[in-house]
């Protein structure tokens, strides 16, 4: 038995922050942001809005589309590095909000790979025969950890997320393979230094702005291109496929230049690569599920298609997932 992505949904906050808005906040320009990243705008939350609010809207859409009752959800996995709180988990808040009375769940911290790692985890509970309906959400409220005085990071990220309900399907369909990696040696290159148990929140941690995300962009860029290209090529070879067999490549949206380089190295034509970074920026665990739901809404995926997902992010964490599409409409 395999697991398939049976239903998808996505959600973003309403408020748009354009590159022109950012020009008024930090020393940057629309021209620099567009040419170096591909981003034109991103969505950000209003004060008081958090990851569980976005996730609950995603979960409600998933229940509506699937006509599954909340009681039928067995497990809720939320991939996020910006939970509402350390505890309770975002998954527990979603469970409460949608009244999924028979579900258990947890948050999964794998940064930009949070959704792929979540799909892998959820799909194994389906494959084992233990569960029939697993909800996987990838969401981040990056504006909550962004330093709007640091132009290296604040222009890149946005808020939003998406998700899916996984259900059983026959072998050779659904999620057919994945290759996942982690290398903690990359940890310092993309990090929120304070606010955890190493440097608990204090007046000094706030004064030093060390509760915000820091990135060595150049180093992450180099690892991201190589990591995403290598793992994507590896999963294609392992499954006797080439880039031309892929109907749609849905990569993590961190930088258009990273996506173009990875797609080119895998021999995937430009028109088969989903790029929506111009609208959303980098929503961390949110990028792949947002892109996947957009692709379905725009009829870019048909039954039988091979879909390739690929991510790279903090940790470092990275991986690829191969899907043979089969969906209930």
Cα–Cα nearest to 90, from 144, 152, 18, 149: 144
* 208 catalytically annotated: no
Q: Least CB distance from residue 151 to ligand UT7, whole Å?
A: 4
- C-beta of residue 3 within 8 angstroms of C-beta of residue 166: yes
Please pick, from the candidates 75, 165, 224, 301, the single residue that binds ligand UT7 as defined by CB under 6 A: 224
Q: What is the rounded distance in angstroms from the CA atom of residue 146 to the CA atom of residue 83?
A: 14
Nearer to ligand UT7, 167 or 255 (CB): 255
Could you say which of 112, 133, 211, 293 is catalytic? 112
* 282 catalytically annotated: yes
According to CB under 6 A, which residues from 227 to 246 bind ligand UT7? none
Q: Which residues pair with 3 in a beta bridge?
A: 168
Please state the φ and ψ torsions of residue 89, each to the nearest 5 degrees. -70, 160
Nearer to ligand UT7, 23 or 326 (CB): 23
Cα–Cα nearest to 144, from 29, 54, 41: 54
What letter does residue 209 receive in the DSSP assignment?
T
Q: Least CB distance from residue 58 to ligand UT7, whole Å?
A: 20
- C-beta of residue 137 within 8 angstroms of C-beta of residue 78: yes
According to CB under 6 A, which residues from 253 to 292 bind ligand UT7? 254-255, 258, 282
User: How far is the CA of 291 from the CAs of 35, 64, 133, 163, in angstroms?
Assistant: 21, 20, 22, 10
According to CB under 6 A, which residues from 36 to 65 bind ligand UT7? 36-37
Site string for ligand UT7, 99-128 (x = CB under 6 A): -------------x----------------
Could you say which of 252, 255, 266, 293 is catalytic? 252
Nearer to ligand UT7, 94 or 250 (CB): 250
* 223 catalytically annotated: no
Nearer to ligand UT7, 119 or 220 (CB): 220
User: How far is the CA of 21 from the CAs of 14, 16, 30, 284, in angstroms?
Assistant: 15, 9, 9, 21
Q: How many helices (H) and strands (E) does the chain have?
A: 11, 13
Nearer to ligand UT7, 82 or 255 (CB): 255
Please pick, from the candidates 30, 60, 152, 278, the single residue that binds ligand UT7 as defined by CB under 6 A: 152
Please name the residues in contact with 73: beta carbons below 8 A apart, sequence gap of 6 or more. Answer: 63, 98, 100, 102, 103, 133, 134, 135, 165
Stretch binding ligand UT7 (CB under 6 A), from 95-103, 148-156, 233-241, 266-274: 148-156
Q: Which two tokens stand for residue 162?
A: 């998406």
Binding site for ligand UT7 (CB under 6 A): 28, 32, 36-37, 112, 151-152, 155-156, 190, 217-218, 220-221, 224, 254-255, 258, 282, 313
Which residues carry out catalysis?
A: 112, 252, 282
């Amino acid at each position: 038995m395999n697991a398939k992505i049976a239903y998808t949904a996505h959600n973003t906050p309403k408020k748009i922050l354009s590159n022109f808005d950012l020009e008024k906040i930090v020393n940057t320009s629309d021209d620099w942001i567009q040419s170096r990243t591909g981003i034109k705008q991103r969505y950000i939350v209003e004060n008081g809005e958090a990851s569980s609010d976005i996730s609950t809207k995603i979960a409600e859409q998933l229940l509506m589309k699937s006509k599954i009752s909340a009681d039928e959800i067995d497990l809720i996995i939320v991939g996020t590095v910006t939970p509402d709180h350390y505890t309770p988990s975002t998954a527990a808040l979603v469970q409460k909000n949608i009244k999924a009375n028979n579900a258990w769940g947890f948050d999964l911290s794998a940064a930009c790979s949070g959704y792929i790692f979540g799909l892998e985890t959820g799909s194994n509970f389906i494959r084992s025969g233990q569960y029939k309906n697993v909800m996987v959400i990838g969401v981040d409220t990056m504006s909550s950890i962004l330093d709007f005085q640091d132009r290296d990071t604040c222009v890149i990220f946005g808020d939003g997320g998406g998700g899916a309900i996984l259900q059983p399907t026959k072998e050779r369909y659904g999620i057919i393979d994945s290759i996942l990696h982690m290398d903690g040696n990359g940890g310092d290159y993309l990090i929120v230094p304070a606010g955890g148990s190493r440097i608990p929140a204090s007046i000094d941690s706030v004064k030093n702005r060390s509760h915000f995300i820091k990135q060595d962009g150049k180093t992450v860029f180099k690892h991201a291109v190589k990591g995403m290209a290598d793992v994507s090529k590896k999963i294609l070879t392992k499954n006797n496929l080439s880039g031309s067999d892929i109907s749609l490549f849905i990569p993590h949206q961190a930088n258009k230049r990273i996506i173009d380089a990875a797609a080119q190295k895998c021999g995937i034509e430009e028109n088969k690569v989903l790029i929506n970074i111009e609208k959303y920026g980098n929503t961390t665990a949110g990028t792949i599920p947002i892109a996947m739901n957009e692709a379905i809404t725009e009829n870019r995926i048909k039954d039988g298609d091979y879909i390739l997902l690929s991510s790279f992010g903090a940790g470092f964490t990275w991986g690829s997932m191969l899907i043979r599409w089969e969906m209930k409409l």
